[in-house]
Amino acid sequence: MKRIELLSGDEALARGAYEAGLKFAASYPGTPATEILEYLANFDDVDAQWSVNEKTAYETALGASIAGVRSIYSSKHVGVNVAMDPLMTSAYTGIGGGFVIVTADDPQLQSSQNEQDNRFIAKFSKLPMFEPSSPSEAYKMAKAAFDLSERFDTPVIIRLTTRVAHTKENVETGDRAETENKPFAVNAAKYVMVPGHAYKKHIALEAKLVELQKYGEQSEFNIAEINDKSMGIIADGTAYLYAKEVFPNASFLKLGFVYPFADEKIKRFAKEVKELYVIEEQDPFIEEHVRGLGIVLKAKDISYRIGELTPVLVKEIVEGKIKVEKAADARKPVLCPGCSHRSVFYALKKLKAIVSGDIGCYTLGALKPLEALHTTVCMGASVTIMESLSKYLGHDKVVGVIGDSTFVHSGITGLVDAAYNQAKGLLIILDNSNTAMTGSQPNPSTGVNAKGKPTKKLILEEICKAAGADIVETINAFDKNLQNKIKELMSKESLCVLIARFPCRMIERGKMVAPVFNKDKCIVCGACLQIDCPAIYKNMEGKITHDAFLCTGCNVCASACKFNALQAAQ
Ligand code: SF4
Ligand code: SF4
Ligand code: SF4
């Protein structure tokens, strides 16, 4: 039955996959891809799971496909890096049941540590890629991707960007198709990638790409719109929509099936138009290929490779302007009032510790005025960078900090590495029983699964001991002795883990009692402002204000005030 639903790009893609008979979905939360798995977890007939990281998600989804069921892997762009090992080889093995990979890229770094353009993953891995420019297209392409996957025995990538993933649109949806599982057959030549088998599979993969290119030539998602021939634009994704808005009368070649390139279609289109432009967000993925075909085109200045496109920027590109970078004037992100990460960073700052950090809300500890976090590279790197910094700068100066979800994702292997290589140093696990930054998803240390049902709970203390930490201790993140405990463990000639535990304020809203603020005692020394809590600030008259409504009573500000103007409630 047809119906109209208001869906985001993530939800529309998930809906299309569901209707295509999807039975297994695996992901690790990461903006802007998180909502795909969250949407799929609502269906009883989809086995949807949060995995501990993107590699395990990819492998379980591939395994489900090998078993014969339609499956999907989804993650943000940097998550695909974690899954690259199985991804590259799955291009050789091919699939059983249809298998779709979703990469949700983040131009403009709304919530990411880099701005990589994962269209290149398609070329690098030799896998076909769709790229929708709207939720409706994401819905249609999800269905087409499963069919293509089974027709060509290949994983198929769908690339979203934040703008498409989070935009909402009315989408005409339908009913679920009940698909038969593909029969599983033992086939070592297909699934066992020893060199002899893999070599043959590589030859087959190159031949498959030629066939996929022919598909691209015919694909309904590669559309030539011939209008005014004085200006032709080749574009993909949201770049197509922006260009169409600015130049409605131009001719367009909209690439929705972006890899392998539909060379003949591109050549024909280039011949039709007088001046050819390629409009694309981020890197010159299409531009370089079109040039490689010997076609002359007008390219954008390299300054437009950074950040998101807009209609205004598209106009500037065509006018041949260089992009003028404007300083961001967005409000500074800040930890929630009463966030348990704040007390840890406040203690680390007072100890003048050199802190290797990780990916999560606690990355905000790097910003002024806390400035208590000094490196952030990728998931899990806090542990291994702590290992090296401790070796060369002294373990009594260095601390690593990592969240519970990130520790399970890829911190455990780092801790094993540190123990195996006899490192000394202190790792603090900021355990707020939550994957907070992406919207409070559960993880193995919370004891709840993606469908909200109880499951086995990973005990962090036990896993840290088993990984080889010499000393493992647990403390309430707001314990008065926190700073002394950190100092004590930093001085040990050992590999130590301190689990600083307190629930995230997003899941634990029960208030402790707010401190008492006596404004007459306040000398406006500013010490309490250094902890960067939104519930305490300087007002227009330059006086300190304590917002008892926002305050959750963590008392970190009270411990900072030497003048008893802020006093912990008794
Ligand atoms: S969401 Fe939770 S972990 Fe993140 S800043 Fe807020 S309280 Fe802290
Ligand atoms: S630390 Fe105490 S005295 Fe200093 S500004 Fe804050 S409330 Fe006032
Ligand atoms: S007690 Fe102080 S630091 Fe804690 S939430 Fe309230 S105002 Fe913020």
Phi, psi for 189 (deg, rounded to 5): -65, -25
The candidate with the shortest Cα–Cα distance to 77, out of 128, 132, 28, is: 28
How many CB atoms sit inside 10 A of residue 11's CB?
A: 24
Assign 377 to helix, strand or coil: coil
Which pLDDT score is estimated for 509?
66
- Model confidence pTM above 0.85: yes
Phi, psi for 473 (deg, rounded to 5): -130, 160
**CB distance 528 to ligand 2 below 6 Å:** yes
Distance of alpha carbon 458 from alpha carbon 481, whole angstroms: 26
**CB distance 119 to ligand 1 below 6 Å:** no
CA 476 from chain centre, in angstroms, equals 29
**CB distance 432 to ligand 1 below 6 Å:** yes
Distance of alpha carbon 482 from alpha carbon 126, whole angstroms: 51
The answer to whether the CB of 65 falls within 8 A of the CB of 37 is: no
In terms of C-beta density within 10 A (0-12 exposed, 13-18 middle, 19 or more buried), how is residue 19 classed?
middle
**CB distance 335 to ligand 1 below 6 Å:** yes
Residue 377, token pair as written in the block: 């590279």
Assign 430 to helix, strand or coil: strand
Q: How many angstroms separate the alpha carbon of residue 331 from the centre of ligand 2? A: 24
Which pLDDT score is estimated for 328?
61
Distance of alpha carbon 303 from alpha carbon 291, whole angstroms: 19
Q: What's the chain's Rg over C-alpha atoms?
A: 26
Residue 217, token pair as written in the block: 């030539």
Assign 228 to helix, strand or coil: strand
C-alpha distances in Å from residue 47, one per residue of 64, 71, 176, 183, 532? 10, 9, 15, 19, 42
The candidate with the shortest Cα–Cα distance to 340, out of 564, 555, 535, 112, is: 555
- Looking at ligand 3, which atom is closest to the CA of residue 536? 7
Q: How many angstroms separate the alpha carbon of residue 527 from the centre of ligand 2? A: 6
Shortest-distance Cα residue to atom 8 of ligand 1 = 339
Shortest-distance Cα residue to atom 6 of ligand 3 = 551
Element counts in the chain: helices (H) and strands (E): 20, 22
**Number of the ligand closest to the Cα of 528:** 2
Assign 569 to helix, strand or coil: coil
- Looking at ligand 1, which atom is closest to the CA of residue 507? 2
**Number of the ligand closest to the Cα of 364:** 1
Pocket test for ligand 3, best of 335, 519, 556, 566 (most atoms within 8 A of CB): 556
Per-position pLDDT tens, the chain of length 570: 899 999 999 999 999 999 999 999 999 999 999 999 999 999 999 999 999 999 999 999 999 999 999 999 999 999 999 999 999 999 999 999 999 999 999 999 988 999 999 999 999 999 999 999 999 999 999 999 999 999 999 999 999 999 999 999 999 999 999 899 999 999 999 999 999 999 999 999 999 999 999 999 999 999 999 999 999 999 999 999 999 999 999 999 999 999 999 999 999 999 999 999 999 999 999 999 999 999 999 989 999 999 999 999 999 999 999 998 776 666 688 999 999 999 999 999 999 999 999 999 999 999 999 999 999 999 999 999 999 999 999 999 999 999 999 999 999 999 999 999 999 999 999 999 989 999 999 999 999 999 999 999 999 999 999 999 999 999 999 999 999 999 999 999 999 999 999 999 888 766 688 999 999 999 999 999 999 999 999 999 999 999 999 999 999 999 999 999 999 987
Pocket test for ligand 1, best of 31, 339, 552 (most atoms within 8 A of CB): 339
Region for 108 from its dihedrals, namely left if φ exceeds 0, alpha if ψ lies in -120 to 50, beta otherwise: left
Q: How many angstroms separate the alpha carbon of residue 522 from the centre of ligand 1? A: 28
In terms of C-beta density within 10 A (0-12 exposed, 13-18 middle, 19 or more buried), how is residue 144 classed?
buried
**Number of the ligand closest to the Cα of 509:** 1
HSE toward the beta carbon, residue 207, CA cutoff 13 A = 7
Distance of alpha carbon 222 from alpha carbon 280, whole angstroms: 15
- Looking at ligand 1, which atom is closest to the CA of residue 338? 7
The candidate with the shortest Cα–Cα distance to 138, out of 313, 315, 11, 238, is: 11
Q: How many angstroms separate the alpha carbon of residue 340 from the centre of ligand 1? A: 8
Distance of alpha carbon 514 from alpha carbon 527, whole angstroms: 18
C-alpha distances in Å from residue 465, one per residue of 92, 273, 434? 39, 67, 22
Q: How many angstroms separate the alpha carbon of residue 327 from the centre of ligand 1? A: 27
How many CB atoms sit inside 10 A of residue 301's CB?
A: 12
Pocket test for ligand 2, best of 521, 528, 529, 543 (most atoms within 8 A of CB): 528
Assign 402 to helix, strand or coil: strand
**CB distance 234 to ligand 1 below 6 Å:** no
Which pLDDT score is estimated for 510?
65
- Looking at ligand 1, which atom is closest to the CA of residue 335? 5
Shortest-distance Cα residue to atom 6 of ligand 1 = 336
In terms of C-beta density within 10 A (0-12 exposed, 13-18 middle, 19 or more buried), how is residue 92 classed?
buried
Which pLDDT score is estimated for 111?
87
Q: How many angstroms separate the alpha carbon of residue 19 from the centre of ligand 2? A: 59
Pocket test for ligand 1, best of 429, 434, 441, 505 (most atoms within 8 A of CB): 505
Q: How many angstroms separate the alpha carbon of residue 18 from the centre of ligand 1? A: 32
Which pLDDT score is estimated for 385?
97
Strand partners, 160: 104
Shortest-distance Cα residue to atom 8 of ligand 2 = 522
**CB distance 342 to ligand 1 below 6 Å:** no
Region for 532 from its dihedrals, namely left if φ exceeds 0, alpha if ψ lies in -120 to 50, beta otherwise: left
- Looking at ligand 2, which atom is closest to the CA of residue 517? 7
Distance of alpha carbon 292 from alpha carbon 251, whole angstroms: 22
The answer to whether the CB of 348 falls within 8 A of the CB of 355 is: yes
Q: How many angstroms separate the alpha carbon of residue 545 from the centre of ligand 1? A: 22
Q: How many angstroms separate the alpha carbon of residue 559 from the centre of ligand 3? A: 10
**Number of the ligand closest to the Cα of 558:** 3
Shortest-distance Cα residue to atom 2 of ligand 3 = 557
Distance of alpha carbon 564 from alpha carbon 552, whole angstroms: 19
The answer to whether the CB of 544 falls within 8 A of the CB of 329 is: no
Residue 453, token pair as written in the block: 């049902």
Shortest-distance Cα residue to atom 4 of ligand 3 = 554
Shortest-distance Cα residue to atom 5 of ligand 2 = 524
C-alpha distances in Å from residue 461, one per residue of 314, 358, 384, 395, 508? 53, 20, 19, 21, 22
Q: How many angstroms separate the alpha carbon of residue 205 from the centre of ligand 3? A: 59
Distance of alpha carbon 349 from alpha carbon 370, whole angstroms: 7
- Looking at ligand 2, which atom is closest to the CA of residue 560? 1
The answer to whether the CB of 365 falls within 8 A of the CB of 341 is: yes
Termini Cα distance of the chain: 62
Q: Ligand 3 pocket: which residues have CB below 6 Å? A: 337-338, 514-515, 531, 533, 535-536, 546, 551-557
The residue to which tokens 């996929």 are assigned:
212
Distance of alpha carbon 241 from alpha carbon 248, whole angstroms: 10
**CB distance 537 to ligand 2 below 6 Å:** no
Assign 71 to helix, strand or coil: strand
Strands (E), 120-260: 129-130, 156-161, 168-173, 222-225, 228-236, 250-255, 257-259
Which amino acid type is present at position 129? M
